[in-house]
Amino acid sequence: MVNPIQVQKFLKGVDYPANKSALIETARQQGADDDVCKDLEQLPDEDFQTPAEVSQALGKLH
């Protein structure tokens, strides 16, 4: 499991609200590793309004 704070480093520059694919795409562009991308792929298919919502959703995965 990756740390949600670590994940936020890879989501710098995301325009919120953002959907799951936008988060994954941005993370890849920022150099996120496979573990980060795998966790993002497990997020629900919904629009996230803030970075805090993404962190909350990541915390619920594990």
6-49 pLDDT, tens digit per residue, is: 999 999 999 999 999 999 999 999 999 999 999 999 999 999 99
**Residue span of the structural domain in which 12 resides:** 4-61
Check residue 29 and give its pLDDT.
97
More confident residue, 30 or 5: 30
- Return contacts of 58-62, CB within 8 angstroms, 24+ apart: 58/2, 58/4, 58/7, 59/4, 61/1, 62/1
61 pLDDT tier (thresholds 50, 70, 90): confident
CA distance readout (Å), 37 to 22, 26, 33, 45 = 12, 10, 6, 15
Total structural domains within the chain: 1
